[in-house]
Structure 1
């Protein structure tokens, strides 16, 4: 019979078999849960509502030093003892906090677990309440990790940062540390001293704003905002600027991007003003010589115009697969284009055509200074000047490219096809490359033809530059004003008497004019000192032949003239400088010059002595044969001097 025959619903009682199945299912779920907690890498402890341990996984056993059977039902404070890493004060149990606040809590970042054996282990922790489906708290789950390696790394980073800050503070050159947004994080003492500023006016300021915006420099902006973002470092960036307290200075900047917890920029500043000024004075004329030498190279490589154009057209028609091509050259004065060469054009009408800039397709290319491409001439209105030839030749596609070299249009390269062409970007890129080659080749030929006429003027310019250097040296040392030209003239006379060739004499003349160019590297305080030089000052003075070699040897035009600037202080007996050459080891040009140099010095007034009498000077020259001078050169000198009357003698 039914258990309840009254109205309403009733709940059926579970049978013993069903209860057993449900119990087995709960046991399986419990086993799965325990297996999961035991297999994870983090330490896990579960407590009941009273804060007593009900589960501890193997990682928790290892860290606490307690086995789970020993710890079960123990208060969490007995097993999980935590203190402050620095003060060693006991910290509140996270389980107690969870039960009190009914929320997830985390340990202090300085928490240390004191395990059963007394070992201190830095840990990180998360604790959370365990709730039933109805929301009631039944316990707490505590998950923690060994953070020994993390804390060790953190302390190492702190030490490294302190070490780096100490390095920054002791560097002798000014150094700034900037944040990602270019604010000053740190500056060393050298920076404050050089730029007469203080930490209060510098730190945390945007670099462009410090010192009344004296660092708002366009070159510095380019380095920090354009170059450095694409490069991890940049060295040797030169900036010249007028600073508020120290005037115009040239700074060499080295920048590094350093990635740490954030990104920083290290900016090292070296004041190279004096060095740059000295180099600028020296290099001003050397750059001109190099530029002239570059033009020489272009002249040497120039070819016949007709041959160059034929080669270019062969390349164009072969590699761009066009039916015809032509090159028009621009007269820059008349602004007219003339057909200079063609390939694949049957009609000869173009050879008699002259176009003005802006006229026809080619004229438009010159005017616009850019390529003109017409894929299908049948779909566009033909230029009147082109119509007869295009129709007669049945050309369909046209392309015109300006030939530009050194910023000037030299002509136009025209391409024609009798079928429609829709080229890809590679075709256009190759066409541009060929156009550049054509422009350079044409410009080289034009230069060759022009420079043939002006070659003599260029040589004069070389010589004028060298004479200008010599005059500048004389002006720097007024005691020897006019000395360079006089000693050069006498050395040339000796070289002619020695039977040297015109080419050799030309090099000797240049070397004689520049014999003291190395003194540009000697400070004025030594060179113009009125009294006797000290040993240390003489040591500096004796370096001027080496300076001359360093200055002139990179200039190919002047290398054959180096014998005199480099070796004119060598002595026949080997006691000279800078290399201590002896006898015929000394270049002949230097041996000739040495006699002329001493003769001119003896025959010139100096602030500390009057000029010597002619015979007295001649006797001295004779006495130095075999010690200071080459005896054969002395004999040659006496012969040359003896031929000159007294009033004309050098």
Structure 2
């Protein structure tokens, strides 16, 4: 009975142990199937090796990338199936799976690594290798996980080339270029901008090294963008509306002075700004406009002088031209009479100050005034930047408002016939270009005076000729009358003798 009991117990234990092993094997097969299905379903390529570096598993993605089917790859050396080389040197690269087995730790792939598939196709990959360890921590193999990054690498390289070209273009650009990102407060409002890029030309114009601008706030460096100009508000508007701007403006702040062209477009949550100094272009435009205006004024004056011989009308027209071309406070023309005294023949700007009547009363020798005398002797304009600093200036009670002055001699052939006097409220106002323009007006005044003189002489000559004609006519009439009277006087005695009754 005891033996039977032992047999039954042993048989039961054997059955129990057999069933437990069967269930364990079934569970292991299920787990292996689950892991195999999972690895086959992920997007990365997976290769597993044993301790000798021979392939024991490969999923479908790995088969596609390496060109080896799983059946062909099994038991093959990992370096044969997973053939990697350096992109530049073309030399074989240390296999991450073998390094993971050797070092017992996760190993990443070196940069610039290329996978060469079985058919010779090359692709850039990103991978890592890790050791596989048993329950006791002993190494049993390695696993490789990798992916094709060729498209990403090409896109990154294209971006790098694009950025390199952009930087090369901007570093050598004659236009300043900066990138600003918006700085917002807790409510989302833009309160400033921060530099993220500035090229060398921007650094030159802004008087800051480009690297010193990066990270700094716009209004900390250039408060004039908001305080003295509309640039800050313009940038905010571009970010909020997406509408670019292209404007020309005069800037005078932070020791930056001049005309600038400013072009701005939205870039993310900020702006890209290109700007250039156009001060010289503006100066040329102003000079061209002034020259054109001067030429048109001179043409109109020349035409008018051909139509009028009245000196007062001609001077009025010329002085109006002076005030249009050379904005000034007052202007007057002083002419010399036959006795060497000067008088005001025409003026402008004195009416508002109530000085017209007094100007018309001037009549004195010009040599009593040092500046007029100097202009006459040198036959050149005399410029006084500030009359307060001029010892030769003859002060008058009514002229405390004057600041700078120029006297241009009016010359007709070799004779100084007068002076063109112009004043301004600005000190040092009469620079060379303005003085040259005034000299042209002085020449027009000389022509007007010459025309008026010729006209007066013509009138005098005409009057003289008329008097002479009348004298001749009178002389002829008187002569004829006297001749007739003498004939009558001679014939009357004879007629009286022959027939007195006929004489009566």
TM-score between both structures, scaled by the size of structure 2: 0.49
Instruction: Please tell me whether Structure 1 or Structure 2 has the larger radius of gyration of its CA atoms.
Output: 2
Relative CO higher for 1 or 2, CA cutoff 8 Å, sep ≥ 6?
2
Question: What is the TM-score with the length of structure 1 in the denominator?
Answer: 0.39
Larger strand share, 1 or 2: 2
